Each structure stands twice: as C-alpha cells, then as structure tokens.
Amino acid sequence: MTRKQPIISIHNVTKIFNRSVTAVDDVSLEIAEGEFFALLGPSGCGKTTLLRMIAGFENPTIGRIVVDGQDMDGVDPNHRPVNMVFQSYAVFPHMTVAKNVAYGLKVTGVLEKDIKKMVPEALELVKLGGFEHRMPHQLSGGQQQRVALARALVKKPKVLLLDEPLSALDAKLREAMQIELVNLQKSVGITFVIVTHSQAEALSTANRIAVMKDGQVVQVAGPLELYENPNSQFCADFIGKINQLRAKVIGVENGSLAMDIKGIGKALIPHDGPAQGKVTLAIRPEKLQLDSDEPADDCIKFRSRVANVVYYGSTSQVFLENIAGEQMMAEVRNRESGTTTSILIGSVVWVSWKTADTLVLTK
C-alpha cells in the first residue's frame, strides 16, 4: 500500500499571544488528501487559531505548517493553496453574488471569458443557480453561506477551511447542511477541514476528528472510534453523554481486569493495555438496559430506583440512583405511542449493560 503524502502537515506548532496566552500548545497533525477532517473542542481550545494559522492569518510562534509539500513560513494568505469560508461568511456586501464568486478569479488574473464560465458552474454546485445578480442583503443566512462556499471552491483550492460553518443556522437547516457539505466534499473531492464545537456536527460529517482542549490535541480518530473508544475522561464526556464510575483494579487475568466498582460491586472487564490502581469506568447511556426482571448473567447488573424521567420526544432520559447512592442516566427510546414513558418515577428496576461495553479510562 503506497502511503500518500499528507496534504497538510502541522509540526509542533505553538502559538502564544502577547507573550502570555498560549492558544495552541505543541500541536502536530497530519491531514490526508481528500479527507473531511474536523477540529473539535470547546470554545477557547485553540481550534480556530489553528485553522487561521493554516490559512495564514496568524503565524506560529514555534513550529511549521506544510501544505501540499510546501513550507508555509513567510507565505501570505493570498499565496496559499488553501481557501477559507469564514464564520460570518464575509460575503462582500457591496458586490453582487456573481461578482463575489468571481472576485478570487479576477484578482489572480483569470481571463474574463473563463470567469464567465466558471461562476455559473460554481453557483450550480452549491444549488444557487440563477442567483448571479442578487445582492447579499437580499439573501438568507444559508444562501450567503453557499455564496461563500462557491466563492472559495471556484478557485479549486487544495484544501477548503471552514470556520464553524453551521453554528449560525437553525437546527433544521443545520442538519440539512451537514448532509449537503458531506455530499459537496465527495463530489468536489478536495480536502475539507472544519472547525466546530458541536460534537454532533463532527460525528456526522468528518472522516477523522481531532479533539482539542486547552490548545492541545487530546485524541485523533474516526467518529466511531472516538465515540466507542475515547482515550480520556475529557473525550468521553465531550462526545455525547456518558456515565462515569470510579473503580479500583484489584487484579489482572489474561486480558481482563478485575475491578471493584464503587457503589456497585466486583466485575471482570476485558481491557488490553496497562491499568492499575484507581481508574474511571464509563458506559454510554443508550447501552444501559432497564428491566423489571433480573437479566441474564454476562453483564454488570444491579437494582436502582428511578429518581427522574425527562422526556425529549423520541427518547427519554431516566435518572437512576442505587442503594449505595450511585447515580446514572439511561437513554431509552419511546417506542410506545400515547405515553411519555412506561417507566414510572419511584419504581425500582434492574439496570444492566454488557460487560464488554464498559470503557476503561486511565486519564
């Protein structure tokens, strides 16, 4: 298998503002050509700063960034093979849609006759065919974003950077745009790098996700891997919801760890990799099973009282508390019509989950 050169290589990049604020802390990443890559993290984690350094609007204090084999040190943004879609879309308000899309071509000397062909094509690509003569203030937010997309894509960059592209859209539009972005990326075939604070957005669109916290990359993995095997408490908690339990390792037996789980009891959990002393166990809420009868044996099980049920329409969150005071949350689908839930507050149920589904987090 031939290993292709990554399209973006970030080598030990650190960015310090005003000699005191470290926004990005020794980050190294590689992004492959044709990937849909996401930088995910809470606000202030450095993801936007990192994106702006790739685009050229900030310069790294330490380290270097290589795009398409070329070191970007000293290269101004207008000479980089990357283009950016800004969070505010930055559509030029004093130009028509067509002039906006043509701008990047015009300033780099593309011939007028070529521009005349490329602009309508780009607009068709983002489903804005026929909008050439509209002014930006006549467009909705979603339409302005498409103009920004067309404007960047018409330049055929190697990489398209998107800064929180969907955060300004309302929920329904956001979901539709997520699918559209993925399709767009597939049809155009170039690398997309998006910055987002929404884990749902990252999970649904990206091939690989880099989770960032306090300027550092905590984990880089595909969506499934990230969700099923987070490498730390932070990732487990940031992506989706999770129940966390404290436990102590009391022994190791070929590929499994004997654990004493606080408030629940002993269990044998498969886990490769070293672990000792106090660890955190985690289990996703949707993996919890609630029954009135005791379930079969190859699982961790115990009885709990239902403390509260919160209804969300298609699902409900059931808050449980067991006799030792351990609190957990289970997510159940509301399959039955005509009732918010068949689980009554105050009732006692059997809580269980497959032992193998338990995550062992050492950091």
Partner 1 sequence: MENWRDNKLVAAILLVPASAWILIFFTLPLAIVWVYSFGERGPQGQTLLAFTLDNYVRALELIHLGILWKSVWTAAVATLICFAMGFPVALGIAFAPARFKNLLLLLVILPFWTNLLIRTYAWIAVLRTRGFLNFGLEWGHGKLDTMFSFAGLPDIMGTFEPLALLYNHSAVVIGLVYVALPFLVLPIYATLEKLDRSLMEASLDLGAGQWRTMASITIPLAFPGILSGLMLVFILSLGTYLTPVLLGGTNSMMIGNLIAQEFGPARDWPFGSALSFLLLYITFIILWIRAMVASRSKGVSY
Partner 2 sequence: MSAKELQIGTQEDPNTRPRMRKVRPTPLEYTRKKWFQLVLLLNFIFLYFPIVALIAFSFNNSRRNITWKGFTLKYYVKAFHNESLFDAFLNSLIVAGISTAVSTVLGAMLGLALYRFKFPAKNAFDGWIHLPIIIPEICMGVAMLAFFSRLNITLGLFTITVSHIAFSLPFVAVVVRARMAGFDHSLEEAARDLGANQWQTFKDVTLPYMMPGIVAGALLALTLSLDDFVITFFTSGPGSTTLPIKIFSMVRFSVTPEVNAASTVLIAITLILTVVTMTIQARSGKNKGLPL
Q: Are the beta carbons of 49 and 58 closer than 8 angstroms?
A: yes
CB of 76 to partner 2, least distance (A): 6
**Beta carbon nearer to partner 1, 57 or 312:** 57
**Beta carbon nearer to partner 2, 59 or 183:** 59
CB of 62 to partner 2, least distance (A): 6
Cα–Cα dist 298/149, whole Å: 51
Among 74, 189, 313, 325, binds partner 2 (CB under 8 A): 74
Q: Are the beta carbons of 245 and 281 closer than 8 angstroms?
A: yes
Q: Give the residue carrying structure tokens 């886990």.
A: 271
81 is an interface residue for partner 2 by CB under 8 A: no
**Beta carbon nearer to partner 2, 52 or 197:** 52
60 is an interface residue for partner 2 by CB under 8 A: yes
Could you tell me whether strands 315-322 and 299-311 are parallel, antiparallel, or unpaired per DSSP bridges? antiparallel
CB of 209 to partner 2, least distance (A): 21
**Beta carbon nearer to partner 2, 59 or 276:** 59
Q: 221 exposed, middle or buried (CB, 10 Å; 0-12, 13-18, 19+)?
A: middle
Strands (E), the chain: 8-17, 21-31, 36-40, 62-67, 70-71, 82-85, 159-163, 191-196, 208-213, 216-221, 243-253, 256-261, 265-270, 278-283, 289-291, 299-311, 315-322, 327-333, 348-354, 359-361
How many other CB atoms are there within 10 angstroms of residue 42's CB atom?
A: 13
Residue 103 near which of partner 1, partner 2, none (CB within 5-8 Å, type-dependent): partner 1
- Which residues of this protein are in contact with partner 1, per CB under 8 A? 18, 55-57, 76-79, 82-84, 86-88, 90, 92-94, 103-104, 107-108, 135, 137, 148, 151-152, 155
Residue 70 near which of partner 2, partner 1, none (CB within 5-8 Å, type-dependent): none
Among 32, 33, 44, 63, binds partner 2 (CB under 8 A): 63
59 is an interface residue for partner 2 by CB under 8 A: yes
Q: Which of 17, 32, 77, 65 is nearest to 215 (CA)?
A: 17
Residue 108 near which of partner 1, partner 2, none (CB within 5-8 Å, type-dependent): partner 1
**Beta carbon nearer to partner 1, 60 or 230:** 60
